[in-house]
Amino acid sequence: MDLIKGLSLSPNALKVLEKRYLKKNEEGKVVETPESLFRRVAKSVAEADMLYGKSETEVKEIEEQFYRMITSLEFLPNSPTLMNAGRRLGQLSACFVIPVEDSMESIFDAVKSTAIIHKSGGGTGFSFSRLRPMGDIVGSTKGISSGPVSFMTVFDTATEAVKQGGTRRGANMGILRIDHPDIISFITCKDDNTKFNNFNISVALTDGFMNAVEEDLSYNLINPRTKKVTNTLRAREVFNLIVEHAWKNGEPGIVFIDRVDASNPTPNIGHIESTNPCGEQPLLPYESCNLGSINLAKMVKADTAGIDWDKLRDIIWKAVHFLDNVIDVNKYPLSKIEEMTKANRKIGLGLMGWADMLIQIGIPYNSDRAVIIAEEVMEYIQREGKVASEALAEERGVFPNYKGSIYDGKIRLRNATVTTIAPTGTLSIIAGCSSGIEPLFAVSFVRTVMEGTKLIEINPYFEKVAKERGFWSRDLMERIADRGSVQDFDEVPADVKAVFVTAHDITPLEHITMQAAFQKFIDNAVSKTVNFPHNATPKDVEEVYLLAYKLGCKGVTVYRDGSREDQVLTRGKKTDAQKAVDSWQKIVPRKRPDVIKGSTRFTKTGCGNLYVTINEDEEGHLFELFTSMGKAGGCAASQLEAIGRLVSLAFRSNIEPDEVIKQLKGISCHSPIWHEGGKILSCSDAIAKALEKYNTKGKKGNGDSGKVVMLMGACPECGGAVERESGCLVCHNCGFTKCG
């Protein structure tokens, strides 16, 4: 795809746009250019001004302003707006919160709403705190409640089924109050890494609980149905359990729910109990929010290396106008969501390219000066954003729920909230800048392109400095790409090392201090990941949590390097966990004993009758798989033999059967067939389903599923590098993000 004149997009930005954003025909062929995508978005959003008396000429000028703002990559709206504006679906919001009340009807209404939202490209957040605890009585049947964690499984399964049409994966936030009787089972619900993979989970911590932690007191668990105390726990023990699990695998996160609700702009309408999937957008039930990010990398004066405040102000005003228009042109998935969204008109103007801005002005990310500048920049965006919203209110009127809001009688605003810092995983790839307020992912790293070709990607600012200062060499760039960081290379001058720091060069306390600096001047919240080295201790996580509470953060997401089996090893020195992966990769398959037992299952396929024999060892672990096709010989039989050999090799190497099933299940061929009430898509699919039925007989798998072993070494879509940032998994190679 050719670069558009005046539109500077990197090859990787073009690849992400083609894969995820540009319109395709029924054959899957791209039928839109980046230029026409941006024109489509600008035109659609500008048309909202027709509702407020603007002429066609004026609307055309507004369209041009929006178009220039987007094509210059100075501002980009959230992904659903880029994908859907001006198209039939027309759903432009990134995030929603759906209420879950304590009744079967409400629970399954919420499941239905979730499926509709995910299909439209949005993510959802829920508070399960209103559900009666496990073991509590069910009034209608006198039965026993299964509790909120059990019902979360229903939401997780529904999300897995929808898959959002392949453009955005379903993402959920599940929140439970710290005083719910089922809080312990909630904290530990993701101990099994195969469960709740479509959920981020966070515990809603109250001020009372945090005070009890500080003073080492007990606190009460309260049944939400009866409002009666059911138990008393020692606050520090529960807090330590949260810390240990976050240290182990990054979850649960924490949300300081009293602080969040205290900044609720419309307390007369309801209480805030949940957030969107990445935690930066607290919302009332049935609210949605429309997000967009200013690219701070573009807000630096080239001649003086200073911040261009006038340019920043211009983009802020245009962005607020744009996001308010989105509310009007949006096609909402549910009428209740449209009603609530238009009543409060919340927008979330955020930023990306923060690390790039600091590099351009020569300020180290982990410095006191950077924290001061962060406060100055965010205070400016907040102040000008509110002034822009005030100007819109004069022209269009205040948001309908203004009366009784925290602004009533103080300032007349068009939007109940104006600022949010959201993840910008794919947006920052399109814009060619650093993500959100995160530090650099890496100074240099290896990117996988077509047919497995590997290219070294070098930060353009670093490459420029290296050439100007005379220390650039291909060998140095390759060695830096192997590590990501420049800190251990003597060729790099000390002042350059200070400025070009990466996420893992920065201490956790410096991460949280930066988050707190931005939070001071944000209506909603901040999505950011606090990175820990692999050798960090639970005590280190505890210190960050306590500091976050002290500094005024609304929530925290932490991640200890190498603590999750789905992390990709892409840069830096090898940690102990990485060495464990190396040793895992060198495992020699177990030898076959003389006698082995198993069973054979018959199934029909489009190629003929298939017999699948599954054998296990003395301890009940799956060991090998043989296949026999009713039709002797031919390509099908040879392919089946190959599959059987590879599956057997996997079993003998202690790969969990579920992982094998996951790879084979769903593969389709030209001859699907129905068998035993289900559809057999192919021979591979038949083998997976035979394994699935065998493996549900109480088998314990092939390894120690309690061990944290990083089995997944690549992005599930392209095999490239995945990094955990802004509370999300992001592939910098293809734009894949687990959080939608």
Tens of pLDDT along 663-687? 898 888 877 787 776 778 888 989 9
The string of pLDDT tens digits covering residues 313-350 is 999 999 999 999 999 999 999 999 999 999 999 999 99
Per-residue pLDDT at 569: 32
Confidence of residue 629 (pLDDT cuts 50, 70, 90): confident
Per-residue pLDDT at 716: 59
**How many CB atoms lie under 10 A from the CB of residue 677?**
5
The string of pLDDT tens digits covering residues 1-51 is 333 456 889 888 998 999 889 999 988 899 999 999 999 999 999 999 999
- pLDDT reading at 393 higher than 80: yes
- 265 or 661, which is more confident: 265
Average confidence (pLDDT) over 612-623? 85
d(C-alpha 477, C-alpha 380), whole Å = 37
Q: Is 276 labeled as catalytic in the residue annotation?
A: yes
Q: Catalytic one among 280, 287, 656, 723?
A: 280
Domains, in order of start, for the chain: 11-81+288-431 (3.20.70.20), 95-275 (3.20.70.20), 442-501 (no CATH), 597-695 (3.90.1010)
Per-residue pLDDT at 717: 62
Per-residue pLDDT at 720: 60
Beta-bridged to residue 615, according to DSSP, are 598, 624
Q: Look-up: residue for tokens 């009807």?
A: 105
Per-residue pLDDT at 641: 87
Average confidence (pLDDT) over 249-274? 96
The string of pLDDT tens digits covering residues 91-145 is 999 889 999 999 999 999 999 999 999 888 889 999 999 999 999 988 766 678 8
Q: Nearest CA to 247 among 34, 539, 646, 500?
A: 539
Average confidence (pLDDT) over 65-85? 96
Identity of residue 377: V
Average confidence (pLDDT) over 550-563? 92
Q: Is 105 labeled as catalytic in the residue annotation?
A: no
Per-residue pLDDT at 670: 73
Q: Catalytic one among 172, 264, 276, 459?
A: 276
Per-residue pLDDT at 574: 45
The string of pLDDT tens digits covering residues 342-380 is 999 999 999 999 999 999 999 999 999 999 999 999 999
Average confidence (pLDDT) over 489-513? 96
Per-residue pLDDT at 632: 52
Average confidence (pLDDT) over 172-190? 97
pTM over 0.75: yes
Residue 640's contacts (CB-CB under 8 Å, 6 or more residues apart) are 610, 627, 629, 683, 687
Average confidence (pLDDT) over 438-464? 81
| DSSP 3-state of 593 | coil
Residues 131-169 as b or e (16 or more Cβ within 10 Å = b): bbbeebeeeeeeeebbbbbebbeebbebbeebebeebbb
**How many CB atoms lie under 10 A from the CB of residue 320?**
27
Q: Catalytic one among 95, 189, 278, 553?
A: 278
Per-residue pLDDT at 674: 77
Per-residue pLDDT at 449: 56
